[in-house]
Chains A and B, each alone.
Chain A
Amino acid sequence: MAPVGDFDLEYAAAPESTAPVRLASQYGLFVGGEMVEPAAGRLAPTVNPATGEALAEVSVADAADVDRAVAAARTAWEGGWRDLPGAERAKYLYRVARLLQERAREFAVLETIDGGKPIRESRDLDIPLAAAHFFHYAGWADKLDYAFSGRRAAPLGVAAQVIPWNFPLLMAAWKLAPALACGNTAVLKPAPTTPLTALLLAEVLRDAELPPGVVNIITGDDAAGAALVAHPGVDKVAFTGSTEVGRAIAAEMAGTGKRLTLELGGKAANIVFDDAALDQVTEGIVNGIYFNGGQVCCAGSRLLVQETVADTVVGKLQRRMDTLRVGDPLDKNTDIGAINSQAQLDRITELVASGVAEGAELYTPECVLPERGFFHAPALFTNVSTAHRIAQEEIFGPVLSVLTFRTAEEAVDKANNTPYGLSAGIWTEKGSRILWMADRMQAGVVWANTFNRFDPASPFGGYRESGYGREGGRAGLLPYVELVA
């Protein structure tokens, strides 16, 4: 029984000001260096998921718009970008990176109101990391001849890039920076629910005086994305999103000669051994699954904890969950913001209900959710079996399933028992065990004694149904170059 103190710590509502953001009521498409109206004139609202209110109307591109954008990218590529010396391309990328830093606050606020993620995350992670990616690849632009020993890296042409809604600007940076550094031009399509930071990025690209058509940004629905990747004028397709859509794209690409990279779903295991630093483990698990409300493809959604410390760890976790603050994403004290859309919230709710129905035990802290907007309390399932849907399917929400193991071999088996293979976490104080485990993890990223850490120099990507190709670092150049003798 916790003793009762005589002082209650109350945090201030500390909302970040939305003053730096100037929203237009309508947005066009960014094609050939200009904002243009969509051919069919179709518009769709984008909504603030924390309130459910529409923020602005954005264009819905159709096949004709895709044609225009791809043609602009082709013209820009043939018209000079592909022949520009690397050092010259780097200058543009450095400029973009610096402009992103200068306007970081504006980007962070916009990311939060359009996507629902806590301002703490957009401010401290999304935007700085997006800028860091441009800096990183600016550095590669003039060193491509030395990146792959004995071989020259030639650009591919026009890259079609379709990105998800969970890290809108960051994913745009992950896609655009290496493509441009390698001498390609691009047509980028942001997700339907989070187009605004990509459109603000268009402004930055213009301010950076990037040659017209080198980057084109078209907004729209899934049909626009499908038209883009299927377009015959595209040389390379990069997609980040669901496994289902990724599979369809892969089928369609077959035999076209287009290069393809896919970054898809995940069901990562966070594996805790009994010798680990359990208090930091607790923080790491929380960061692994409740970061961005669990709407992260590499989220540590399956906790595998060694039997001997399972009760201790679950106890610590529940206690920590009680202090998580769910609510207004613009509040600097908020830990868990809004779920990106009603559709996503419905999916999370449905999977949580399935967990309860299949016999797992649900823990969720008492917290008052805002009346408006799309919110879901952090959830923890114990008594989970590997056969349960919540242990198999990607939930993409703040829902953690706890499983136990006895031996390291069993941990490896359970961790790899998923069609996915994007990431894994290993928590132990024993260095040799980290290496032993990492060797056996079928996952593209393995974190040791931490989780959800990203760096532009570190490659990111998946195994099996989590996709193929790497983003970040030198490995992230490969999807955008042809190696020639």
Chain B
Amino acid sequence: MTDLLAIETPTGAADAVAGVRITPVDAVGLEQRAAALCTRSIKTSSKAAALDLAIRVMDLTTLEGADTPERVEALCTRARHPDAVDWSVPSVAAVCVYPELVPVAAEALAHSAVAVASVAGGFPAGLAPLEARLAEVAWAVAAGADEVDIVLNRSAFLSGRYQKAYDEIAGAKQACGSAHLKVILETGELGSYDQIRRASMLAMVAGADFIKTSTGKIGTSATPAVALCMAEAIRDMAEQTGRSVGLKLAGGIRTAKQAWHYLVIVGETLGPGWLTPERFRLGASSLLNDVLMQRAKLRDGRYQRREDYSVD
């Protein structure tokens, strides 16, 4: 419970770390509560707004070795106007790419409300030399990234070297400058909800603007219980320090129904104040089409063909 007390911080920040209390997590109770929240049903009139919100908080993501500038440009076009024929559909929150493609995305998204997000810091393992990782963060920001998604050093965290894990995140925060920092915990590798809660608190006190579940590069990613666990950590952080940290859920989110469940979990745990792109994101690639299909279904009363939507 007090393991973060050992962390040394730059002058002034010490109290913020020492004052933060880490509560254990009971796995059975957590999963029961998450399952119960997934049985809530949303009002039909609220459904359209919920679908629009799911789009507005979406980080449209492509993180493939085979990514091309053309592919990123196409994604950016979709990000601005997700539905080519229905311009009432809001734009997504951000497009998330590898650093080398940041200039392409920055140009394609210039003069739009859509932010450019870049993974950096040795994504997805975070095991490159620290200097190289920090340089990569700074490079991405210089190239036009508004938001940077880095990974927690699981090697340091899981072996108990919390100071090292903390320092690296704090360093990345500094390298980010005014850009927003999202810290990916890769919850599927952390082994327990207790560890997820501890990592959440560590990332938040180290300066993360957002904490994020997963890279999408391993089998296990966001689940309702993990989302609830991290939301409870964020709630504790806000209660204890007054700082509102955002939550990004990523990996395996493919259907509008899943997105609803996450909206409910975040809304009931953190309150409506978190249901905004400033504090909540869904990282996804294939989710958009399902949301658009559900949206069209609400509008027209029938489903469209899958072929009517572009795949990228």
A residues neighboring B (CB under 8 Å): 2-14, 120, 275-281, 283-284, 315, 323, 332-333, 429, 449-450
Complex interface: chain B residues within 8 A of A4 (CB): 272-273
Contact B41 A8 (CB under 8 A): no
Complex interface: chain B residues within 8 A of A449 (CB): 26, 28-29
In the complex, A162 Cα to B33 Cα: how many Å?
Answer: 35
B267 sits at the interface (CB 8 A): yes
Residue picked from B25, B29, B271, B275, most chain A C-beta under 10 Å: B29
Also in contact, A11 and B40, with CB within 8 A (given A279-B23, A279-B25, A315-B239): yes
Residue of A whose beta carbon sits closest to that of B264: A9
In the complex, A276 Cα to B25 Cα: how many Å?
Answer: 8
Complex interface: chain B residues within 8 A of A279 (CB): 23, 25, 30, 232, 236
Also in contact, A2 and B273, with CB within 8 A (given A9-B46, A10-B43, A277-B26): yes
Contact B24 A12 (CB under 8 A): no
Contact B25 A280 (CB under 8 A): yes
Main secondary structure of the interface of B (DSSP, over half): helix
In this complex, the interface size class of chain B, counting residues with CB under 8 Å from chain A, is: 35 or more
Contact A7 B39 (CB under 8 A): no
B5 sits at the interface (CB 8 A): no
Complex interface: chain A residues within 8 A of B44 (CB): 12
Q: Tally the A-B contacts, defined by beta carbons under 8 Å.
A: 93
Contact B276 A283 (CB under 8 A): no
| Nearest CB of chain B from residue A9's CB, rounded to whole Å | 4
Contact A277 B24 (CB under 8 A): yes
Contact B275 A14 (CB under 8 A): no
In the complex, A429 Cα to B23 Cα: how many Å?
Answer: 10
Also in contact, A276 and B24, with CB within 8 A (given A2-B271, A12-B43, A12-B44): yes
B244 sits at the interface (CB 8 A): yes
In the complex, A275 Cα to B42 Cα: how many Å?
Answer: 36
| Nearest CB of chain B from residue A53's CB, rounded to whole Å | 26
Complex interface: chain B residues within 8 A of A12 (CB): 41-44, 46
Mind listing 10 A-B residue pairs with CB under 8 Å?
A2-B271, A5-B271, A7-B276, A9-B46, A12-B43, A14-B41, A275-B24, A277-B26, A283-B33, A450-B29
B84 sits at the interface (CB 8 A): no
Contact A450 B28 (CB under 8 A): yes
Complex interface: chain B residues within 8 A of A10 (CB): 42-43, 45-46
Shortest 6 CB-CB contacts between residues of A and residues of B? A280-B29, A3-B273, A280-B26, A277-B26, A12-B43, A9-B267
In the complex, A8 Cα to B40 Cα: how many Å?
Answer: 15
In the complex, A3 Cα to B275 Cα: how many Å?
Answer: 10
Residue of B whose beta carbon sits closest to that of A325: B40
